[in-house]
Structure 1
Amino acid sequence: MSVHLRRWPVRRGLFALLYVVPLAPFHAHAQAAPDAQQLLAASDAIRTPAQAFVLNAALTEYRSGKQVDANMLSIYTKPDAPGGTFRTLVRFEAPARDVGKLMLKNGDDLWFYDPANQASIRISPDQRLLGQEANGDVVTVNLAHDYTATLLGEEDVTDGDRQLRHCYRLSLAGNTPGLIYHRIEMWLDATNNRPVKARFFSESDRLLKTAFYRRYTMQLGAERPTEFVIIDGLDPNWVTVMRFSGYAWRAIPDAWMQRDYLARFRPE
């Protein structure tokens, strides 16, 4: 029996071929979504060096654009292990009424030492230090150790300099006890994993504050944010700015990170 090709229109032939040759799935060539926990770890490495170091932190509190308070801190940080927690010693340098006071984070314990009465007491990490800054905010943290990250997608957000950035949006859920924030939303620049913006929530899921990471400069071998602008979750006119300077590698004795040593600590 002969086949009359003239009676088989080309478009009908193409339609039939769709059933013979399966088409490749649309997502076959799509780029796989990045791992959220790895993104968070990469942003940690940008925020914080992996070796022992020191720096200075200047905190300034503003109400409706007017400065209402300020202090200056020296921060000594030492990692317990790669990818793990940090131990942090904070010394108050200003104002005069606070000079010499110390705060120590070792494991889950946070201690405050006042040389006036030579006593060290346990304090809460969520207790207010200045403005929106809590005690636990000025100690070094490894978010990838304390939180489990989920990638919510990609979106364009306005950074602290009012520039539009294409970012990964992460949701961080706390996985260790005693954390200041029950949940964090964080936006990372999709081109380099730099932290751009974060929102911090209470256990009741109330927005406590929004932070912008600004002024990236070369510090200890990497471009790191040297300014955090923190806006209160209820009152946008209440702003705290934390500026970091004086980064330096430092061999920090283990003795400095012990509660019993606080009375003997002397900066070198």
Structure 2
Amino acid sequence: MLAASDAVRNPAKPFVTTVSLNEYKGGKASDSSTLQAYSRAEPGGQFRTLLRFAAPARDANKLMLKTGNDLWFYDPASKASVRISPQQRLLGQAANGDVVTVNFAQTYQASLAQEEEVQDGERQNRRAVKLQLEAKAPDVTYHAIEMWLDRDNYRPIKARFLSESGRLLKTAFYRRFKEELGAVRPTEVVIIDGLDPALVTVMRYGEFQARDIPDSWFQRDYMARFQAE
């Protein structure tokens, strides 16, 4: 079921998409960022992702690279790439690990908790299966996740992301499902802070395109030579 949900969220073929992040505090917009994401699944099923920052202007052409569980950040001003944590916040409630393409079935051990009714991101009641996800390795973004999937098609509805101590870090709702690259996928994720529900970040995906992505783009040493197209 988790692998089927991954296939709903992520195209199997190499693709590029625009990721827009908008942060809200008490319902008022406070910050935003736009990135271009280039992703490709590896033979094992996990993705490699190169992210190019497009806006705001102060961040333009900075890069973030995910390969395996390693995450690298490149700043053209310093011409240096440094390893960063997937747990580190990128903008608002969105962490670095939230914006890269991830197949949860590759990095988490899933178990079936129960079947229940849950409210989705449009405030509609849905019949769902609840999965408990435990991290297979210590260097992933979240120690544990509770995830609700539509009982009939395994589309993601809601997820709660937890710390090692079991504290709620954030809640995410998947919504705005649209036909993109051969499947109906969520194009918007609403992320709510685990302590203060007035802190919300909306992550939107758009302009999906299938495209061949050179293997060199996913090499750390190539980040200094990368040219946006």
Taking structure 2 as the reference length, the TM-score comes to 0.98
Q: Aligned to 2:217, what secondary structure does the other structure show?
A: helix
Q: Structure 1 residue 222: deviation in Å?
A: 0.1
Quick one: which amino acid aligns to residue 218 of structure 1? E
Counterpart pick for 1:119 among 66, 80, 95:
80
* d(CA) in 1 for partners of 2:69, 2:190: 27
What is the percent sequence identity of the aligned residues? 62
| Superposition map of 1:1-268 within 5 A | 39-81=1-43, 84-268=45-229
Q: Aligned to 1:236, what secondary structure does the other structure show?
A: coil
> Any idea what the Cα deviations from partners look like across 1:60-81, whole Å, max 9, x if unmatched?
0000000010000000001111
* d(CA) in 1 for partners of 2:211, 2:7: 18
Q: For the pair shown, which has the larger CA radius of gyration, 1 or 2?
A: 1
Quick one: which amino acid aligns to residue 225 of structure 2? R
* d(CA) in 1 for partners of 2:71, 2:109: 23
* d(CA) in 2 for partners of 1:197, 1:235: 18
RCO greater where, 1 or 2, for CA within 8 Å and sep 6 or more?
Answer: 2
Quick one: which amino acid aligns to residue 122 of structure 1? R
Q: Aligned to 1:167, what secondary structure does the other structure show?
A: strand
Residue 69 of structure 2 contacts residue 140 of structure 2 at CA under 8 Å; is this kept in 1?
no
Q: Aligned to 2:3, what secondary structure does the other structure show?
A: helix
Q: Structure 1 residue 176: deviation in Å?
A: 2.2
Q: Structure 1 residue 156: deviation in Å?
A: 0.6
Structure having the higher strand fraction is 2
Instruction: Provide structure 1 residue ranges, at least 5 long, that are not aligned to the other structure.
Output: 1-38
Q: Structure 1 residue 177: deviation in Å?
A: 3.0
RMSD: 0.8
Q: Aligned to 2:129, what secondary structure does the other structure show?
A: strand
Taking structure 1 as the reference length, the TM-score comes to 0.84
